[in-house]
A and B are shown apart, each in its own frame.
Chain A
Amino acid sequence: MKSRPLLTKILIHPEAISQLNLNDWDLLIRQARHANLLGRLAHRLTACQLLDQVPVQPRAHLESVLGVAQRQMQAVQWEVNRIVQALDKIQTPIILLKGAAYIMLQLPVAQGRLFSDMDILVPKSQLQAVELALKIHGWITTHHDAYEQRYYRNWMHELPPMQHLTRQTMLDVHHTILPETARFHPDPKKLLEAANLLAGYEGRVKVLAPTDMVLHSATHLFHEGEFNHGLRDLTDLDSLLRHFSTQDASFWEKLIERAKQLDLTRSLYYALRYTSAMLDTPVPPGTTRAAQVGAPSWITLKLIDALFRRAFQPPHPSCSDWLTRPALWMLFVRAHWLRMPMHLLVPHLLYKAVIAPRKKQAEA
């Protein structure tokens, strides 16, 4: 494998920008933009008081994205406020997931993070009531096709994505964190029970406990089929791990224990392996050893290593080799294989490949 890409190097050691010439900046901005990490890069440089040292042309792009990220933070707070309002009459806790939780908790990982949709988790028993209330308040479903509706409602861990009519914001309503048909079954009740209250919302809004937040992020990433944001998500994990482990001295032990309880040791193993390999995340040796319970066989690991090390490069031509495309394709296949058993997957893929495009054509 090639040496580290420029973007990863600078994210780990921002002070190294003093050695960059304009050609390097050109490449760095491109890699960061296409990895959806321009905001994080800009924020890292600002936090280290290095932004003033950036030459004026690339700096304009960094300043541009800082403004956007700040505005998104504000928009997310407003969106949370709207969702709480819409679900006012329903006696259910609303659990914010991923980006929305990071922002509302003002975690370091939220700084400069760009994202496009909101994710919430509600108990499955309240799903219908929640969906109806959201509809009344202007969120409508985006997938109108009967097959797609059935696919989400019978098999997935979330409703078909919803979009607000006037604000155009996207909302994913989850009832668990992995598809119902997936190989692993973390019990959503355990997540709900351990969730923490978010201050200022009268007990209505919650966020996952720190260990669960990391495990959720890891589970998503290592079940993912598309890796346009692979490196971004890995840097999310890196930031969460660094932050929580400095906040709580026993965080690492808790994390391992929790992964066992939730049946997510494999995802955690990968998370620790690739964050420390790609981003120098300071995982204690004891934790690395304990996480081995989730390791696959050595031969699987050899293959998985080859795939993920490519998937976690910035998605830019300067960071790919001739195996990148096949690797991404295999990960796409792997994600589907993890998501559904064969007797569901084969008909689903056939539908997607044969019938869906014809329908689309007929409609157009």
Chain B
Amino acid sequence: MNVSSFTARDLARALRRDGVNIRIGTHTVRIQSPFPAIANNLRLLYANYPLELDAAFADFHVSVKPPRNFRRWLAPQAIFRFDSYVPFKPLPADQAYPLLEWGLNWCFSTQFHRYLVIHAAVLEKNGRALLMPAPPGSGKSTLCAALANRGWRLLSDELTLVAPETTEIIPMCRPVSLKNESIQIIQDFEATVAMGPSAFDTSKGTVGHMRAPTDSVLRSHEMAMPAWIVFPKYEAGSTAQLADHPKASTFMKVADNSFNYSMLGLRGFETVAKLVDRCDCYEFKYSNLDEAITIFNKLSEA
């Protein structure tokens, strides 16, 4: 059963009561929330994900609910809970859906150290994976969304899970989070994308989520072997250009962009070393998405 096999009313009711289990590749999360915005966003953005009403095991049990006090009538808020634990301050209720996505990112990046978790977008073509680690503002998500709409399989726009033993990448394919101008840029780039409603005035500005391509969602169980590490940088007016990046510096940057590098100790070091060893490493400057895609397609055919 998929999320889309539920009517809007049934999904909202199930979310409000005991919650629903949604399978994201090899992982399962249980989500509970009375907010209609969450039900609507899930129905749109997670349409093709398997949904189970009474699955036995969920990796993370999360909820987004209004606080139980008078504020709910004055200035409605949303609180994210991981079971009963509250990791962040409440946000205005109209940010309930981004809060859920951020909360899930928090769960996978701080509560689960089975894998090395890198703050990086990751896509795959012809069996080889492209990792793009980058700090916010570098145009990583925009580039990732564009590639995902031009035949690259999306594994994640935000969290790259690397198995320490093999350096296989485990897909964590979820909606792509786009900020500010990027929302319009991607809608202009590909008219057929499904975008959830934007949330305004968040700590990251305006935030909207793009539905992951159906093919990527259906192939969420397929691991991929990393082949390229690319540090993207959006520079207004620049011509797209790929330049070699030294491996030693790549190592440090990947470690820096990992959530749990030091948590994994020696295993963290060895995993990053293996990963950098087997990848070609580049830095990439761009301003035009079509140019960027031509370059990456050429890379994948080489």
Contact = CB atoms under 8 A, between A and B. Distances in A.
A67 B28 contact: no
B57 A316 contact: no
A65 interface: yes
Contacts of B112: 60-61, 64
Nearest to B111: A33
A63 B83 contact: no
A34 B111 CA distance: 11
A68 B84 contact: no
Interface in B112-169: 112-114
What is the predominant secondary structure among interface residues of chain A facing chain B?
helix
B300 to A, nearest CB: 31
B62 to A, nearest CB: 12
Interface string B241-268: 0000000000000000000001111010
B84 A58 contact: no
Interface residues of B, number: 18
B99 to A, nearest CB: 21
B56 A21 contact: yes
B57 A26 contact: yes
A22 B56 CA distance: 5
Contacts of B114: 60-61, 63-64, 67
B84 A315 contact: yes
Nearest to A57: B57
A43 to B, nearest CB: 15
Interface residues of A, number: 24
Given A60-B114, A63-B114, A70 B84 contact: no
Nearest to B85: A34
A355 B15 CA distance: 42
Contact of B28 (A57, A61, A63, A64): A57
Interface string A42-85: 00000000000001011011011101101100100000000000
A90 B220 CA distance: 59
Given A61-B112, A68-B263, A25 B57 contact: yes
Given A64-B112, A64-B114, A30 B263 contact: no
A317 interface: yes
Interface string B51-70: 00000111101000000000
Nearest 4 A/B pairs, CB to CB: A22-B56, A71-B265, A64-B114, A64-B113
Contacts of A60: 59, 112, 114
Contact of B264 (A55, A61, A65, A67): A67
Given A65-B113, A67-B264, 4 more contacts: A26-B56, A34-B83, A64-B114, A315-B84
A21 B114 CA distance: 22
Contacts of B113: 64-65, 67-68
Interface in A291-326: 315-317
A34 B60 CA distance: 12
Contacts of B59: 57, 60-61
Nearest to B112: A64
Contacts of B85: 34
13 contacts: A22-B56, A23-B56, A23-B57, A34-B85, A58-B57, A60-B114, A61-B112, A67-B114, A67-B263, A67-B264, A67-B267, A68-B263, A70-B265
A318 to B, nearest CB: 9
A61 B58 CA distance: 11
Contacts of A33: 83, 111
Nearest to B84: A317
Interface in A115-150: none
Contacts of A74: 265
B61 A30 contact: yes
B203 to A, nearest CB: 16
Nearest to A73: B265
Interface string A1-44: 00000000000000000000111011000100110000000000
A56 to B, nearest CB: 9
Interface string B75-98: 000000001110000000000000
